[in-house]
Amino acid sequence: MNQLLTRQQADLVALERRLVLQVRDTLSHAGGPRADLERLAQLVTEMDELFLLVVAGEYNAGKSTFINALLGDEVFAMGDLPTTRVISILRYGETGPPEAVGEHTRIYRYPLDVLRDLEIVDTPGTNSIERMEEEITRGFVPRADLVLFVTSLLQPLTASELDFLGHIREWGKKVIFVVNGVDRRNSDEQIGRVREYLAHEVRTRLGGLEPTMYFVSALRALRRKLAAKGAAQTDDAEPSSTERGDECAELERYLIETLRETERVQLKLLSPLGVLRHLLERNLAAIRSRRTVVQEDGNVLRAVRDQLEGYTTEMRTDSERYLLELRASLSQVERRGRTWLERNIRVGNINLLRNRDAVENRFRNEVVADAPREIEEVVHRMVDWTVGRNLKLWTAVFAELDAHTARLRASGALGAHGDSEFQYNREELFARLRQPVERRLGDFNAEAEARGVVESMREAVAHAFGVNVLALGLGAILVAVFTTAALDLTGVLTATLFAIAGWFIIPARRRQLIRDLEEKIAKLSADLSALLAAKFQEQLARYEQQLLEVIQPYERFLETERAKLERAVTEVEAARREVDGLEQRIVGAFPG
Ligand SMILES: Nc1nc2c(ncn2[C@@H]2O[C@H](COP(=O)(O)OP(=O)(O)OP(=O)(O)O)[C@@H](O)[C@H]2O)c(=O)[nH]1
Ligand SMILES: [Mg+2]
């Protein structure tokens, strides 16, 4: 059609083509469904094709009869049962057998002049029991430049017609109503009543302008033309008179003259904009619902983080309680140590002090006493409690994720756009988020875990205090730490000291030794409590990290997705404004 356009119109076509491509890019960035992108690619090609006048309506409405009447020939099959089964495109050319294009389209040719400028499409009727055929017709609607909607005078606007009209309207198509069967009217008033009814219902139920309507009898028009043709051949033609109330001739004039000459170019330019607008709206809705999903996912992750934070804070405060118990035990050791030293490091005790085993035994029984067992017990309690709380944390996280999935599924947010890349990535990541939680819970063996933690503490103590007895439990290690280490390091147990036991006679020497021992015990006790506290913090940090590692990839995904969706919304909204702007220019370019 390009050669027939004015310069201004050609510019508009170029602008429109660019806009279609731009919208395709926008939707492609926005992760729009493949079908939409394909529709847009096709739209570019369709812009170069002839104007498509699509005749649609329910089965048996008289669509094929109407087209035949227009042609004055029985090109399309007519009948009382669902008759037209495929999209039938009527194109200019010599008559011949129709040509099948794919499964659902057939091309017919007919040498009628008007077909040089537009193609007429007969479609399978809607609302028959052939649901597939309705789908074919619905699928073809986006391609129409103008829809002739054939309905029946005896049953104007059924519920299913209204639904189908809604679909046509969604794609922004201009519709002309053809009310067929006026030959079957009971009275002339019937036409007026139906006209009013239709105008009112279409206006209120579908919104928009006053509908354009033509009341016709397709069958009578066809018969008249066929008779005229026959008469012309036999040379006794009756002058064709238009029946009262039958607007077939006006409609024909509109289609063959007005449409062909002026309106066609404008409609042809406007129709891609309707498609763009519809696709943009639809995708905008999808993007918004995706944004809701991202927000909700984000809320869940925040809830998980809150759980984790709550857990960590609770651990920090409650662990103080256990560490206090621990320090209490240790200060008992210090106190007992002081008394013991005062009582035993004296000259009168020289024989005992010469006996290394005896010293060790007494020190262990009287100073170290129950402390290692107490400490071991506190450590076990502390670890058991930490591990138990950690199990509770993971259980809560799992419940949170589960409830979230159930909520999304119930709201329909999941699977609503299952073909999109977003949906795919999200489900995969969500599964990756859920699996480790599930696995952690499935494998959780609180006893073994607690044993492991205590074991690592035992190793740390043995290592830090140089007690090289791997097979012993924490309690035994502590006994060794206090007895051997304390006594050894101060020299109480060394032979040299005993050799010069005379030292004890010098009061200053004695005091010094007692002070050394006291300091040693205090230091051991401080070191030990710091070590256990550090080990405990380490364990907490590990637990924290474990959960963070699970949720962080998903948090990052959501962050990227959120940014992407924001950008998509902005771009889609901008494209929609451009569609509006171009529409105004097109309308303005065709005065009248
Ligand atoms: N009385 C009367 N009958 C008509 C008129 N138009 C069509 N018919 C009859 O209605 C029946 C259906 O006509 P078709 O043209 O095949 O209807 P259609 O809309 O193409 O139907 P499908 O192809 O099945 O969707 C045929 O028997 C026609 O003869 C009309 O104006 N008046
Ligand atoms: Mg038909």
Average pLDDT, the chain: 87
**Cβ of 26 less than 6 Å from ligand 1:** no
53-76 average pLDDT score: 97
Nearest to 113 by CA among 87, 91, 88: 91
What digits encode the pLDDT tens for the residues 279-331? 999 999 989 988 888 898 899 899 989 989 999 999 888 888 998 998 899 88
Give the Å distance between the CA of 222 and the centre of ligand 2: 14
* E strands in 201-355: 212-216
DSSP string, 531-556: HHHHHHHHHHHHHHHHHHHHHHHHHH
What digits encode the pLDDT tens for the residues 401-455? 888 878 877 876 665 545 567 777 777 777 778 888 888 888 888 888 888 888 8
> Helices 34-46 and 7-29 meet at what angle, rounded to 10?
170
Give the Å distance between the CA of 83 and the centre of ligand 2: 5
209-221 b/e with 16+ CB inside 10 Å = b?
eebebbbbbbbbb
CB 333 within 8 A of CB 521: yes
**Which ligand is in closest contact with the Cα of 58?**
1
111-125 average pLDDT score: 95
Using CA atoms, how far apart are residues 270 and 16, in angstroms rounded to an integer?
9
| Cβ atoms < 10 Å from Cβ of 455 | 13
**Cβ of 125 less than 6 Å from ligand 1:** yes
What are the phi and psi torsion angles at 145 (to 5°)?
-100, -25
Pick from 58, 63, 78 the residue to mutate for probing ligand 1's pocket: most ligand atoms within 8 Å of its CB: 78
What digits encode the pLDDT tens for the residues 557-584? 899 989 999 999 999 999 999 999 999 9
Q: What is the pLDDT of residue 126?
A: 96
Give the Å distance between the CA of 199 and the centre of ligand 2: 25
Compute the CA torsion angle 208, 214, 218, 223 (nearest 10 deg). -160
Compute the CA torsion angle 255, 258, 262, 265 (nearest 10 deg). -10
What digits encode the pLDDT tens for the residues 475-522? 888 888 888 777 775 566 554 444 445 555 567 777 877 788 788 888
**Which ligand is in closest contact with the Cα of 218?**
1
Burial class (CB in 10 A: 0-12, 13-18, 19+), 107: middle
Strand, coil or helix: what is 570?
A: helix
pTM (2 d.p.): 0.80
**Which ligand is in closest contact with the Cα of 59?**
1
In Å, what is the CA distance from 424 to each residue of 37, 301, 358, 432, 551? 18, 19, 74, 12, 18
Q: What is the pLDDT of residue 506?
A: 67
In Å, what is the CA distance from 496 to each residue of 143, 488, 509? 107, 12, 15
pLDDT at 239 over 50: no
Query: In this predicted model, which residue has the larger pLDDT, 509 or 395?
Result: 395
322-332 b/e with 16+ CB inside 10 Å = b?
bbebbbebbeb
**Cβ of 539 less than 6 Å from ligand 1:** no
> Helices 218-234 and 63-71 meet at what angle, rounded to 10?
30
121-140 average pLDDT score: 95
Give the Å distance between the CA of 192 and the centre of ligand 2: 27
CB 480 within 8 A of CB 472: yes
User: Which residues belong to CATH 3.40.50.300 in the chain?
Assistant: 2-288+580-589
CB 27 within 8 A of CB 575: no
**Cβ of 194 less than 6 Å from ligand 1:** no
Domain 2-288+580-589, classified CATH 3.40.50.300, yes or no: yes
Q: What is the pLDDT of residue 302?
A: 93
Using CA atoms, how far apart are residues 398 and 391, in angstroms rounded to an integer?
11
Burial class (CB in 10 A: 0-12, 13-18, 19+), 97: exposed
At 236, the pLDDT band (50, 70, 90 cuts) reads low
135-149 average pLDDT score: 97
Nearest to 2 by CA among 265, 260, 256, 262: 265
Give the Å distance between the CA of 455 and the centre of ligand 2: 85
Query: In this predicted model, which residue has the larger pLDDT, 163 or 3?
Result: 163
46-56 average pLDDT score: 96
Strands 99-101 and 105-110: antiparallel
Q: From atom 32 of ligand 1, which residue's Cα is the shortest distance away?
A: 181
In Å, what is the CA distance from 338 to each residue of 429, 502, 522? 62, 22, 10
